[in-house]
Amino acid sequence: MFGVKHIFLWSLVAASGALPQNSPAASASSAGTSLQAGNCTAPSILDYVVTLRPGLSEGEATAHLKWLRSLPPSRRRPQGPQGIYHYGENRGYSGNFDDEAVKKIESRKEVKSISRNQLFHINSTPQWNIQKQASWSLGDITPGPEDTKDQYTYDARAGNGTFVYVFDTGINSLHEEFETRVIERICLADECEWPKPLTGRSGADINGHGTHVAGIIAGAKFGVAKQAQIIDVRICKTKTCPGLTYVTSDVAAILQALAWTKADVRAKGRQGRAVINFSIGCKNFGINRDVQLLFSDVFEAGILPVVCAGNEGLPAKWSSPRGQPEVLTVGAHDKNHKETGFSNYGPAVDILAPGVDIKSANWKDPLGAAFMDGTSMATAYASGMALYLLSVSNNITSPKDLKQTIIDMASDNVTVLEMGTTGRGKGKIRKAGSRSPRRRLFNKAAARGKLFQDG
């Protein structure tokens, strides 16, 4: 599918659905169309997501589910609770419920919230090592004269002792980029065949997006944090139609992934050493309070979530969790340090990072590379930077410190757009207060040597 050719990941937040397999790269003008083939439509999702109150006993949770199953049957299928989960103090489920059932569930004292489900789509003196013939994007985030921009200067500890949880389509951990550093995988999409954590190498990527993203974060050649440990958290599923493949996720899978990650980090003592890479976007935009609250929870638990701004050229603040203080929201710029037309924008964006013509691991070839464009790729660079800083600094003691350090190190050598140039935001004027900040990802730690060496 990929080889060495351009892939535009408009499906990150676009209403257009996932990029068709074996198709030309999607163009900016395709964003906002409704993709379908014949009678084939996007995958259906369960109507509602229910979050139970923290601290429920096993008996109370069991009693609630027993009560739920006693409700009169709905005409909707499937009936009853689906996707039941319990990770640490977090419990919940999803299901199809009629209006009367929703009111009854909402009134129960053991229920924290019930909300409409939403469809999401995929949206790429220390010892110093110098990587020659690096991709432009790696050289771009580190200091040096223009004639050395094909070199990536980095601390040899880059990523050592840190962990990244990649919420995506899965990772082909057989690729040479990952060596043996994909240490665990779990699948929380509703079609998953392994809903419990597994170890061992696997080619389990359903689309290639996750492998490409993980390679940027922590690949041996393409990655920023070359020693980081990777946890593959698959939240996406596929639906294949003639000439078209949808790749989607939903609120139910995202909440489960956040709850599982929070519990896993806590159980293994990884607080302050873990990052979530979330290169997924809401199809129809919208604010979801449950999603916001759980992203805040993982932040308070010692994990920095790094999220993509999205690829529709529209305000990033229109969908959760973008713009929350508890996440780092990342837009994209090109080789000329100009904000891309497809990147969602505005004050909700914290920083811009390379997102055009990005080279990373090819899921179909364990030795090969692929090129992709998108805020997914930009987000992966920011996640890699976060892991890099955690591995070389003793001064960063919280996700808040880590986010602020990345922002403080940013370069202002970037041009932000004053008018939309593509997608659904084409031609729209961006007034001064609605533009993205003039900040691009930049590793000043590599320029200042000992700043992060000994804390």
Phi, psi values for residue 164, rounded to 5° = -120, 130
d(CA 427, CA 429): 6
Look up 334 and say whether it is catalytic: no
64, 121, 209, 212: the catalytic one is: 209
DSSP helix/strand/coil, 192: coil
Q: Which residue has the tokens 């955690």?
A: 390
Is 168 one of the annotated active-site residues of the chain? yes
> Are 327 and 383 in contact, with CB atoms under 8 Å apart?
no
Catalytic residue among 173, 360, 376, 436: 376
Helix, coil or strand: residue 305: strand
Helix 209-218 to helix 375-392 angle (10° resolution) is 30
Q: Which of 168, 232, 334, 350 is catalytic?
A: 168
CA atoms within 13 A of residue 379's CA, in its CB half-sphere: 40
Contact 333, 325 (CB under 8 A): no
> Taking phi first (over 0 means left), then psi (-120 to 50 degrees means alpha), and beta for anything else, what does residue 30 get?
alpha
Scan for tokens 């660079």, then name that residue. 381
How far is the C-alpha of 141 from the C-alpha of 122, rounded, in Å? 24
Spatial separation of the C-alpha atoms in residues 173 and 95, rounded to whole Å: 33
Residues catalogued as catalytic: 168, 209, 376
